[in-house]
């Protein structure tokens, strides 16, 4: 299976976009109401986490929680992830990406993370030996992602069953309380892994259609 190349230069900057420094960070895409983001920042006070959420209602809830439980290492971002990542992130900047319970896109498989041209760009932003954590309660989603990792992206990964007492996100808590099987793939980018975007610098608000 071939995936067309992501058109990074066509990405228009998010509203009120602010460039960021080129230093190691973690990034959560689809951070929801911020449950995992706040937990992560509390447990890892020396690591900066950028938590991105597109939906206004969920972002407002996360922002409120961040104000109630302030941590210096959490940066919450209200934006669509694709243009924000394209404009903000530098090559090999991110030590960890978190994709926790993304929309399974049951009617549009091309929009699933590992089926998207954008996934190659995401990999270019990941540091050598960095990881992407992809979690889902849908077994077929995990199985398809595994197949793509083996056949298309050729990346090493570890498949894990998420413990029944885990509660990183509101979705995870709900699924596990129902007794559903939740799994995650810890995807690792090995030294020397190449993408077509390894030299692509962030657009920093300069993208155009």
> Mean pLDDT per segment of 10 residues, for the chain of length 209 residues?
84 94 98 97 97 97 94 96 98 98 94 96 98 98 98 97 97 97 98 97 79
The whole-number pLDDT of residue 205 equals 85
DSSP code per residue over the chain: ---PPP-GGGPPPPTT-----SS-EEEEES-TTSHHHHHHHHH-TTS-EEEEE--HHHHHHHHHHHHHS--TTEEEEES-HHHHHHHHPPTT-EEEEEEES----TT-GGGSGGGSTHHHHHHHHEEEEEEEEEEES-HHHHHHHHHHIIIII---EEEEEPPTT--SSHHHHHHHHTT---EEEEEE--TT---TTTT----TT----
The whole-number pLDDT of residue 207 equals 62
The whole-number pLDDT of residue 209 equals 44
The whole-number pLDDT of residue 2 equals 64
Contacts (Cβ under 8 Å, ≥6 apart) of 18: none
Distances (CA, A) of 23 to 48, 88, 90, 153: 9, 12, 9, 26
Domains and CATH numbers, the chain: 23-188 (3.40.50.150)
The whole-number pLDDT of residue 3 equals 78
The whole-number pLDDT of residue 206 equals 86
């Amino acid at each position: 299976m071939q995936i067309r190349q992501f058109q990074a230069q066509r990405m228009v900057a998010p509203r009120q976009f602010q460039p960021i420094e080129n230093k190691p960070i973690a990034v959560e895409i689809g951070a929801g109401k911020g449950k995992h983001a706040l937990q992560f920042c509390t447990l890892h006070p020396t690591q900066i986490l950028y938590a991105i959420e597109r939906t206004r209602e969920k972002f407002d809830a996360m922002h409120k929680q961040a104000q109630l439980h302030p941590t210096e290492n959490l940066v919450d971002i209200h934006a669509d992830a694709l243009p924000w990542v394209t404009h903000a992130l530098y090559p090999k900047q991110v030590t960890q990406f978190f994709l926790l319970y993304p929309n399974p896109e049951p009617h549009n498989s091309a929009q699933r993370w590992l089926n998207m041209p954008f996934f190659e760009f995401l990999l270019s932003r990941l540091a050598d030996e960095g990881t992407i954590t992809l979690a889902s309660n849908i077994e077929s989603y995990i199985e398809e992602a595994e197949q793509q990792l083996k056949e298309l992206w050729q990346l090493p990964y570890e498949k894990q069953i998420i413990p029944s007492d885990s509660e990183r996100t509101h979705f995870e808590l709900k699924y596990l309380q129902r007794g559903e099987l939740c799994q995650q793939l810890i995807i690792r980018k090995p030294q020397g892994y190449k993408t077509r975007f390894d030299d692509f610098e962030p657009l920093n608000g300069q993208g155009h259609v």
